[in-house]
A and B are shown apart, each in its own frame.
Chain A
Amino acid sequence: MIEPIILNVATEFSITPDARLKENGKSSAEQFREGVLERKFLLAKKNKTTLIVNLDGAAGYGTSFLEESFGGLARKYSTDAVLKTLQFISNDEPYLVEDIERYIEEANLEFA
C-alpha cells in the first residue's frame, strides 16, 4: 500500500498566505495551487493514494485563499476527484476542514 503524501502549507508554502490572485499578494492562492498543491495532487492521484494537507502552523487563512486554492483545484480537476484524493488536518482551526469541503463541493456551481 502506498503511503499518503503530506503537504504542510506553512512549511512548504508560507506561514502567511494572503490573497486570492497572484497580482494581489506575495503568497497568493494561485501561486500555492499552481506551484505546490497541483503537483502533489496529481502525484497522489497517479499513485492512487491520499494527499493529506496540513493547515496547522500558519498565521491564519483568508476565505478567498482557501476557496481559490481548493475550489480552484476542483474547477480544474472535478469536485469528485478532489474530494476523493484530499484529506485535511487542522487542529488549530478545526472548522476550516468543513469550510474547505464546502468550497470544493460548491466550486462548480453556476448562477441560477
Chain B
Amino acid sequence: MKKFYSQAKYKRQSVRERNKFLRKGNRKKKYLYSSHPNPTQNKNRSLPSNKHYRIKVPDVFSMTKNPIEMVDFLNRLRIAFINKPGVYVDLSKTKQITADAVTVLVSHLRDGRINLGKPYLGNNPEDLKLKHQFAESGFYKYVRSNELNYSEKGNIIARHQYKVDDEIAKKLIDFGTEKLFGHYVKQGGTYNVLTELMNNTRDHATGKGKKEYKEKWWASAHYDAEEKKITFTFMDNGVGIFNSRELSARNYVFKLLGLSTNIDLLKKMLNRELPSSTEFPYRGRGIPSINANLKRQQIKNLVIISNDVFANVDTDNFFILKNPLNGTFFSWEIHK
C-alpha cells in the first residue's frame, strides 16, 4: 500500500491548506528590498522564503568606526551565500550607520562571485532617523525595493567600473563640493586619490597571473550636513593590497619569522620605501601620493582596510585584523 503522504489526495490537501494560509495574510511582508531580478532564482518574490538565512549587521554599521565586527559580518555574508539558498540582511536593530558601510554592503550584494546568483532580501533600521539616513544613502538605487520614496539627497554611489573613469571621479567631486561649499571647488587631492585607486584596482586587484578578469570597483561620496564634511569611499573585492604583490626574499623571510607584519609593509608603501610590484622602478607612486595628499591636508581621516590590516593613517592607528577583509577599502574626508 502506498504511503499516505505520497498520494495525490494528500498533495491536493496540502496545496489547499497552504493557499488558505496565504490568503489569510498570516505571513506579513517583513522585507523591504530584494536582489536584482534574476530569472533563474526565487520565482516567488512576493514573500520571503523561510529558507533565507537571516544575518544581522553589527549595531555600529561602519567600516571606519567598527572594522572588526564589520569585516566579520562581510565574511559571514560570503559564507551564508555559499551554504544557504538565500540571505536576509537584518538592519532592524542598527544603532549607527555610516555611508562607507552602505557602499561596502552594495559592493558585496551586487558581486556575483559573492552572491553566487542567489536571492537576498533585507529590511530597514527601525530607528526613524537611521531609516531616513539609509534611504538617503543611495542604497535603493542598486536593489529592488518596495520603498518608493527614497531619495539621494545625501549621497551618490557610482556605478561599478573596471577602468579609470575620469567622469565618475569628477561627478563625485562635483556632488560633494556643491553640497559642502554651494559650488564646485577643485579637489586635486581627492581627484588624485580616486584615479590612483581606480588605476590600482585595474592593475593589481586581480592578483598575479589573472589578467583576463577585470576587477570592479565601487566609489561613493556622502554629505554629512551636521559635521559639514564629505566622506569618500572606495571599495574593490579583489585580492587586497598584500596579496597582489610578491615580497622580496628579505621581506618574505622577515614575515615568515614574525619579524614583520603587513602593517610594516603598508607603512613602507606609504613612504615609498617599498619598490613597485611591477618590474618598473619608476612606478609604485600611487599609495605614497595618497599619503602626500593627507600630509598636505588636502584630505583628512584617511582609513585603509585591506587583507589583515586596518590603518587610520591620519591618527597613526594601525592594527592587525584577526579576520581579514577580502578586498581593498579606502575612506577619506574633506571638511569645510
Q: Do A and B bind each other?
A: yes
Q: Number of A interface residues, CB 8 Å? A: 33
Known A-B contacts A60-B187, A61-B192, A63-B286; the reply to A109 vs B281 at CB < 8 A is yes
B166 shortest CB reach to chain A, Å: 4
Shortest Cβ gap from A3 to chain B (Å): 29
User: Is B169 a contact partner of A16 (Cβ separation < 8 A)?
Assistant: yes
Which residues of the other chain, B, contact A64 by a CB distance below 8 angstroms? 195-196, 199, 283, 285-286
Q: Are B282 and A19 in contact (CB under 8 A)?
A: no
What DSSP secondary structure best describes chain A's contact surface? loop
Query: Chain B residues near A106 (CB, 8 Å)?
Result: 282
Q: Is the CB of A14 within 8 A of B166?
A: yes
Chain A residues with CB below 8 A from B285, complex form: 63-64, 67, 103
Contact of B289 with A by CB under 8 A: yes
User: Which one, A23-31, A35-43, A46-54, A81-89, is touching chain B?
Assistant: A23-31
- The answer, yes or no, to whether B164 is at the interface (CB within 8 Å) is yes
Task: Using A63-B192, A63-B289 as known contacts, say yes or no to A27 and B166 having CB atoms under 8 A apart.
Answer: yes
Smallest CB separation, A55 vs chain B (Å):
10
Enumerate chain A residues within 8 angstroms of B202, measured Cβ to Cβ: 19, 24
Contacts known (A18-B169, A61-B188); A24 close to B282, Cβ less than 8 A: no
Q: How far is the CB of B56 from chain A (nearest CB, A)?
A: 40
B73 within 8 Å of A by Cβ? no
A76 to chain B, nearest CB (A): 13
Does B275 belong to the interface (CB within 8 Å)? yes
Interface string of B141-169 (1 = CB under 8 A from A): 00000000000000000000001111101
Q: List 20 A-B contacts (CB under 8 A).
A: A15-B170, A19-B164, A19-B195, A24-B203, A26-B166, A27-B166, A59-B173, A59-B191, A60-B186, A60-B187, A61-B192, A63-B192, A64-B196, A64-B199, A64-B286, A65-B195, A95-B296, A108-B282, A109-B281, A111-B275
Q: Which residues of B contact A (CB under 8 A)?
A: 163-167, 169-170, 173, 186-192, 195-196, 198-199, 202-203, 275, 281-283, 285-286, 289, 296
